[in-house]
Structure 1
Amino acid sequence: MHASNSSLFNMFELWRADPWTAEVYLLNSPWPVTCLCTAYLLFVYKIGPEFMKHRKPYNLRNIILIYNICQMIYNGSIFLMVFYYIFFEGTYDISCMHTLSVDHPKKRIERSITYIFFLNKIFDLLDTIFFVLRKSYKQITFLHVYHHAMMVYFMYWVIRLYGTGGQYSVMGICNTAVHFLMYFYYFNAGLRPKMKMNLWWKRYITIAQIVQFMIYLVQSIVVLVFNPSCHFPLFMQWLQIFQASSMIVMFGNFYYHAYIKPKQKTE
């Protein structure tokens, strides 16, 4: 059994685009992130609801307000760093944003930004934990859980097999911008619960989510059609198209049922 586990570990070691990941916590092996995502799903769908079954919802208002402020600062900071890195430093050729070589002078910055973005996706999992502890089960949709778990697991394997930054820097800019707006809304809604229904711009956060995935989709299609010589892995290009398309469909479906269908019934 020991020899079998050792062989499996060695096999995973071969799947490492950047040797730096062997030295970084949570990136040095697939097992921690796999266990983390599994524990998240078990807590959300089984352990959490069972634990809360005979308990009253916890009052987490102050904790969540602090969490939202931290997320605003966290996402805003990443957005500014990536924006500066791409548009002011001119690190990438926008038409083909391939990850930097391991000996590139800006590789350390690229790695650092990618890692803190990855950690932020883990931090995001607390959203669902709060829903469970508050018994706000209607917010725990398939879209919500899939999106959160997928981002953590997808990001791990992208970093492991492809490397840091590159074309996925566009994801960093769009995702952190949308999350800053989202947590800004959550903070205002939590700070003034009576005004929650009057925050008319909530629906535009969903629109922003859809737009960001449209940007990912267009980015991949443009590179495939107009710049086929780009060395960005073809498999990951198609994977990005698939993920972007599926998220557009799911967020579009959510938007229709949350904002269009109710309006049609009242007319």
Structure 2
Amino acid sequence: MIGLVDPHIHPIWATPWPTATILVAYFAFVLKLGPDFMKNRKPYDLRGIIKAYNIIQIIYNAVSLYLATRFLFFWDTYDLSCVTTLPMDHPHKDYERFICNIYGFNKFMDLTETIFFVLRKKDKQITFLHLFHHSFMASIGYFLLTYHGYGGLLFPACTLNAFVHVMMYIYYYLSSVNPSVQRSIWWKKYITLSQLVQFVTVEVLVIKTLLHPNCNYSKLMMWVCLIVNPIFIGLFSHFYIKNYVLSPKKSSKPPQDSSDSKAQEKVN
């Protein structure tokens, strides 16, 4: 077994099996078991559950954003010219672990949305972008903590991602309460733009760190980010152009029912 760079890694990421089990079960349900189960059944009405889920996500990500912002900008933690994980004896090390853990747990929570799609028979919403993004974000936690440890280079990007999630789930909730609200929400396209800013920010930080002669960081994780980020940038750029540039009138129309806004604006 690979030696852990941090002996206090949470048990869910201490070995690959919890993450692998969750993802195998996820793909088995959303691609095979779920559709087979729903084949001769009517779609479930999950509007109440989805509203509650959106509220939970808003609160969860808002708290994560507050804690991460406080840690990143108001405490003596990272040198922003070379963002590496805190040493084991740093007074804020446990806080760094705690924030990263709650962020990582949220990536598993996000998988629930695909289950909603299946149970509502919205199979067309389960796109390559949706599956690739969710599965990658849920799996990267194990590899990041195993090969690098808590915090470091991706912490600023995760902070920005928590901000994007707050915006996104506020939009989802408002849309679920009243579909007509979407017509007056002018900022929904900026959720996608914010996500693109996040990926570009990560790419810039990775390149900057690679060029830094004395910045000690896991080269393997650096190259993974360097390769995967352009894929995300391309996929989300295609989504943005398709929905807001080539067909702005179509994208501005409200969906047929409230929770379909997740399919139109799935950018988390």
Of residues 188, 213, 217 in structure 2, which corresponds to 1:232?
217
Asked whether the equivalents of residues 49 and 132 of structure 1 are also in contact (C-alpha less than 8 Å), the reply is yes
**1:87 partnered with 2:85:** no
Percent identity of the aligned residues? 42
**1:27 partnered with 2:31:** no
Give 1:138's aligned residue.
Answer: 124
Of residues 165, 178, 192 in structure 1, which corresponds to 2:151?
165
Aligned length: 250
For 1:253, the aligned partner's letter is H
Of residues 107, 116, 120 in structure 1, which corresponds to 2:93?
107
Give 1:17's aligned residue.
Answer: 5
Q: Which has the larger radius of gyration?
A: 1
Q: For the residues of structure 2 that align with 1:65 and 1:178, how far apart are their CA atoms?
A: 18
Of residues 221, 232, 235 in structure 2, which corresponds to 1:250?
235
Asked whether the equivalents of residues 118 and 152 of structure 1 are also in contact (C-alpha less than 8 Å), the reply is yes
Greater CA deviation, 29-38 or 188-197? 188-197
Of residues 207, 219, 235 in structure 2, which corresponds to 1:221?
207
Question: How much has 1:197 moved relative to structure 2?
Answer: 4.2
Q: What is the TM-score normalised by the length of structure 2? A: 0.89
For 2:3, the aligned partner's letter is W
RMSD: 1.6
Asked whether the equivalents of residues 23 and 135 of structure 2 are also in contact (C-alpha less than 8 Å), the reply is yes
Give 1:183's aligned residue.
Answer: 169
Greater CA deviation, 38-47 or 216-225? 216-225
Of residues 117, 127, 133 in structure 1, which corresponds to 2:113?
127
Question: How much has 1:232 moved relative to structure 2?
Answer: 1.2
Of residues 207, 211, 218 in structure 1, which corresponds to 2:197?
211
Q: What is the TM-score normalised by the length of structure 1? A: 0.89
Q: For the residues of structure 1 that align with 2:157 and 2:143, how far apart are their CA atoms?
A: 15
Q: For the residues of structure 1 that align with 2:41 and 2:3, how far apart are their CA atoms?
A: 45
Asked whether the equivalents of residues 96 and 232 of structure 1 are also in contact (C-alpha less than 8 Å), the reply is no
Distance 1:72 1:264, change over 3 A: closer
Give 1:6's aligned residue.
Answer: none
Question: How much has 1:90 moved relative to structure 2?
Answer: 2.5
Give 1:201's aligned residue.
Answer: 187
Deviations 1:192-249 (A, max 9, x none): 1233344332221111111110111111112223x22100122222221212111000
Of residues 125, 143, 154 in structure 1, which corresponds to 2:140?
154
For 1:222, the aligned partner's letter is K
Give 2:40's aligned residue.
Answer: 54
Asked whether the equivalents of residues 13 and 141 of structure 2 are also in contact (C-alpha less than 8 Å), the reply is no
Report runs of 4+ in structure 1 exceeding 4 Å deviation: none
Of residues 6, 26, 32 in structure 2, which corresponds to 1:40?
26
Greater CA deviation, 190-199 or 115-124? 190-199
Asked whether the equivalents of residues 15 and 142 of structure 2 are also in contact (C-alpha less than 8 Å), the reply is no
Asked whether the equivalents of residues 220 and 240 of structure 1 are also in contact (C-alpha less than 8 Å), the reply is yes
Greater CA deviation, 250-259 or 120-129? 250-259
Structure with a larger share of its residues in helix: 1
For 1:40, the aligned partner's letter is Y
The unaligned stretches of length 5 or more in structure 2 are: 251-268
Deviations 1:22-81 (A, max 9, x none): xx3312221111010111111111111111111111111111111101101111111111
Q: For the residues of structure 1 that align with 2:21 and 2:156, how far apart are their CA atoms?
A: 28
Asked whether the equivalents of residues 118 and 156 of structure 1 are also in contact (C-alpha less than 8 Å), the reply is no
